[in-house]
Amino acid sequence: MAKKKRNAPQKAPQNIIPPDETKAPETKEPAKEVPQSGKIIDQLFGSLESEPDIENDIASLGGEEEAPAEEAPAKPRKNGFFFGFAVFIIVMAIVGCVSTVRFVADLTSSLLDNTSLKNEFAQFIFPVVVNDIAPFDEASEIPNSTKITCAIWNILVNKDVTPYENDLGGLTIPEYDVTASCKEIFGSSVSIEHQTAGTAENKFSYDESNHVYSAAKNTRYLTYSPTIVSMTESSGTYTLIVGYLPPTLASVSGINGMEVVPEKYMEYTINRWDGKDTLMSVKFTDYSADDQ
């Protein structure tokens, strides 16, 4: 009996609380693996087994060094250059404007003064002024010798004399060309009788058998040269006050600021019709240098 009591199962203690089956079991975090010494080196300095990216490293190093290369003083130099260039452009523009204004002013003054037309008339009457022609109201009043000398001088001054050159170094001018030249000055209705004319310094010999004139190729002696002092126009007829410049002043006109004063003044009347000029008359005038 005593042995049965000893082998009987023992009751569980009543103060033990059974586990709550509804409560989720606590999960334990896995223990962190402690990196070995080799892995720590790889994390800090990179794996020795991996290939180093040398190009990217150099590029990154170069990029870092480019920043300090952009120095601040470089910009002011460029700005200074462009500023100086801009000032140069402005100065040149101002100079151009001033030159343009002067050109326009001179052109306007020339147009108002009819300088071009005056020069045309001066060239036209040059052969007449050279001969110091006597006053006349009609071409019929002009002596034949004067018509001839004016006509030949017109050829010498205003024409190409190359076709008239001869083997003797002079000029041989046909009678026909002298007549045509005379009509260019005094009009188509003028008549002329051919003969030897001119002065001892400039003599134009007439060969009646061959109907030609002989003249020197280089004529140097001049009596006067013209300058147009004033000009008025009415219905295609121009009235000019012509100053007669002596040869010495004509040759040095405009040199060293020398003032050119004509020796005398004459009044010329020129008719312009259909682009052709005709000398109608030459008269005395009361005009003087004090009237300028």
Measured CA to CA, the distance from residue 199 to residue 189 in angstroms comes to 27
pTM (predicted TM-score)? 0.60
- Which range, 6-20, 102-116, 158-172, 245-259, has the best average confidence (pLDDT)? 158-172
Measured CA to CA, the distance from residue 122 to residue 226 in angstroms comes to 6
Q: Looking at residue 1, what is its pLDDT?
A: 44
> Which band of pLDDT confidence, cut at 50, 70 and 90, is reported for residue 220?
low
Amino acid sitting at position 268:
Y
Lowest mean pLDDT among 55-59, 87-91, 120-124, 160-164: 55-59
Q: What is the mean pLDDT of residues 239-262?
A: 74
* Count of CB atoms situated within 10 Å of the CB of 289: 12
Cβ atoms of residues 204 and 156 within 8 Å: no
